[in-house]
Amino acid sequence: MKCTFTPSICSYCGTGCGVLFETIDGRLNSTIPMKSHPVSQGKLCIKGWNLHEHINSPMRLQKPMVKTFGRFINTSWDEAIQITADRFREIIDQYGPDSLGVLVSAKMSNEENYLAQKLARAVFGTNNVDHCARL
Amino acid sequence: MKKKVKKWLEDGTVDLFLGYKIDCGHPLPHCFTREELDDVDHLVVGETRYSLEKIATHLAKKDPNLKIGLLARDCNQRAINVLTIWHQLDKEKIFPLNVNCCPSPIKPQADCSYMSGETAASYKLQVGIDNAMDIESADAFSDREKNIRWMYEFQKCIKCYGCRNICPVCFCAECTLEHKDLIGPGRLPPQVPIFHLVRASHMVGRCIDCGLCEDACPMDIPLRLLYRKVNTITMDIFDYNTGESCEQSPLSLLGDKVTLSLKPM
């Protein structure tokens, strides 16, 4: 029997509460608030308390899916990215780059947010970059 | 202490030992094993408390034959007693290593002041209930004032279920607080004061006054005081001190030495 505790940060919002994942025999068993965390000080909201719930859910999507003829079909990452890129190209060619927008998140790192805006400005050629906290 | 833990692990007294270890700068619970015996040198008794006995119940649920050792403050020890009474832990398979801890009405002498808590701000003092209040002064308000003050505290609830989730003695597979006919889903604040009073009534004869619920409450509701109050009822009427021993179940009291003549409350 192996039981481990992994400190982490809640992935739901920009607050960044400290959580601790209790894993028994490689299976995520529960979420515990991290007592000494400077942000949350051992408190969590209902979303943070249930972080572990969806990890083991059979409903969880583990492969990319592409909607073809109204149905979702499993595909590889390479193909999924290729299809996305092709559709972006199509939309930009037809309606112009400002028809696209990029929505970033408070829960991403600065570096990821930087990359997302770089993609929007340098690749798509649009200034439509916004943030989930402004919705 | 470390020597004892090592010895326990080596001679097979315990299979696992739940304690604390500094990880990423935080004292976090850690499961020490025989395979990683050198790890025991990093065992600490920090100021932070986690409900190790709750983790032990999770482990015992997976493997009932597992022998678990754990670091036990007084509150942990009381929780272990209650969990043994309710058959969540097996007395023969749990090995608490007692360490000193925080003061509580059940144990007045202690050298840790972790639970002394923050002082309430002036607004809370005026319209709500001070978390540090004792039962007598909370009872001293008039009925009307009591109602207003407690309702002020309850309506702050964001229904995070933190008080239940962190509670070491909350183990039911099905929880009343999630029953849609009793507590309507999707409403915020939850139906007050039913939400809190249902939980309070379930804490009678179970709450071991560890204060973890109040600690985990994002809205600073004086839950510890509320549960302490309901527990005085079992103390006054049944002379049952929750968590004191792991021998007597509160259910076995009925009809034995109790007259069941209710005292006026």
* 8 Å CB contact between A29 and B58: yes
Alpha carbon of B123: minimum distance to chain A alpha carbons (Å) = 22
Domain that holds residue B87: 2-98
Phi, psi dihedral angles at B16 (to 5 degrees):
-135, 150
Q: Is residue B18 located within the same domain as residue B59?
A: yes
pLDDT tens string B66-116: 999 998 888 888 899 999 988 888 888 899 998 876 555 555 555 454 555
For residue B214, give the nearest of A73, A114, A41, A7 by alpha carbon: A41
CB neighbours of residue B115 within 10 Å: 20
pLDDT tens string B105-162: 555 555 454 555 667 788 888 888 888 888 888 888 999 999 999 999 999 999 999 9
In this prediction, residue A88 has a pLDDT band, given cuts at 50, 70 and 90, of very high
Residue A32 inside a domain? The answer is: yes
Q: Which chain A residues are within 8 Å of B61, Cβ to Cβ?
A: none
CA B26 vs CA A20, A37, B44: distances in Å: 11, 8, 11
* 8 Å CB contact between B217 and B56: no
In this prediction, residue A105 has a pLDDT band, given cuts at 50, 70 and 90, of confident
Kindly report the CATH number assigned to the domain that includes residue A36.
Answer: 2.20.25.90
The sign of the CA dihedral A11, A12, A17, A21 is negative
Region B241-259: mean pLDDT is 70
Q: Which chain B residues are within 8 Å of A24, Cβ to Cβ?
A: 58-59, 62
Q: Is residue B72 located within the same domain as residue B181?
A: no
For residue B72, give the nearest of B108, B20, B113 by alpha carbon: B20
Nearest CB to A49: which of B31, B51, B162? Answer: B162
In this prediction, residue B261 has a pLDDT band, given cuts at 50, 70 and 90, of low
Alpha carbon of B248: minimum distance to chain A alpha carbons (Å) = 30
Q: Is residue B22 located within the same domain as residue B134?
A: no
Using a CB–CB cutoff of 8 Å, tell me whether B139 touches chain A. Answer: no
What is the model's pLDDT at position B247?
79
Q: Which chain B residues are within 8 Å of A34, Cβ to Cβ?
A: 26, 28
- Distance, CA of B226 to CA of B150 (rounded, Å): 10
Whether pTM exceeds 0.90: no
Q: To probe the interface with A, which of B33, B112, B165 has the most A CB atoms within 10 Å? A: B165
Using a CB–CB cutoff of 8 Å, tell me whether B164 touches chain A. Answer: no
Is the pLDDT at A127 greater than 90? The verdict is yes
Residue B104 inside a domain? The answer is: no
Region A5-19: mean pLDDT is 89
- Distance, CA of A33 to CA of B26 (rounded, Å): 12
